Amino acid sequence: MSLNRIFPCPDCGSDVSKKASAYPHCGSPIAGTDTPTTVVVKEKKSIGCAGILGILFLGMLVFSALDVNDGPSATKNSEPPVPKTAAELRIEEIQGAFSAWDGSHRVLERWIKRRLKDPDSYKHVETRYGDKGDHILVVTTYRARNSFGGYTTESVTAKAAVDGTLLEIISNP
């Protein structure tokens, strides 16, 4: 009879040596051993709020980098873009001179503000324009404080190039 005999674990059924102080698979102690067994239990670490925010941020970056319409199925079903006509390109160039925020003509607004007594009191009311072929005609209505401290509404009409530069002030209050 040998002392190094292998026998099965009653809990998990795996083989274990008689010299072992605990079953290697399940960790339960072997009866008759005088060596106390220590079972190491690893604690599960939590990622915390900063970890969750980091994961969400990375997820948003990945999601924003992916364009749903750029996949292979989108290119099979979509038609090639139609080139813009000369009239559409001209309209885009004209609209580039106007503010997307309030519709004011940027260069004309700066010209008006330089001539006001109180430029900080300038309030844009409305801007209209007409395409005349070689230039555009811009009419801007605004409110501003006058010399007496009251607000007045005025309009300025100007000729401007398609790219937005002022060519001539036609009417000035």
Q: Is residue 79 part of a domain?
A: no
Instruction: Indicate whether 64 and 11 sit together in one domain.
Output: yes
Which pLDDT belongs to residue 57?
87
On average, the pLDDT of the chain sits at: 82
Range of the domain at 50: 1-72
Q: What type of residue sits at position 60? A: M
DSSP 98: B
For residue 29, how far is the Cα from the chain centroid?
58
Distance, CA of 94 to CA of 78 (rounded, Å): 30
Q: Please tell me the pTM assigned to this model.
A: 0.53
Residue 72 has pLDDT above 60, yes or no: no
Distance, CA of 151 to CA of 120 (rounded, Å): 12
Counting residues of the chain whose pLDDT is more than 90, the rounded percentage is 47
Q: Is residue 22 part of a domain?
A: yes
Q: Tell me the pLDDT tens digit for each residue of 101-126.
A: 999 999 999 999 999 999 999 999 99
Among all chains, which residue has been given the structure tokens 């002030």? Answer: 169
Instruction: Indicate whether 94 and 167 sit together in one domain.
Output: yes
- Residues 71/78, Cβ–Cβ less than 8 Å: no
Q: Is residue 54 part of a domain?
A: yes
Domains identified in the chain, total number: 2
Model confidence at 51, pLDDT cuts 50, 70, 90, reads: confident
- Residues 30/22, Cβ–Cβ less than 8 Å: yes
Instruction: Select from 170, 168, 165, 156 the least CA-distant residue to 93.
Output: 165
Domain-terminating residue out of 72, 96, 115: 72
- DSSP H or E stretch at residue 127: strand 123-131
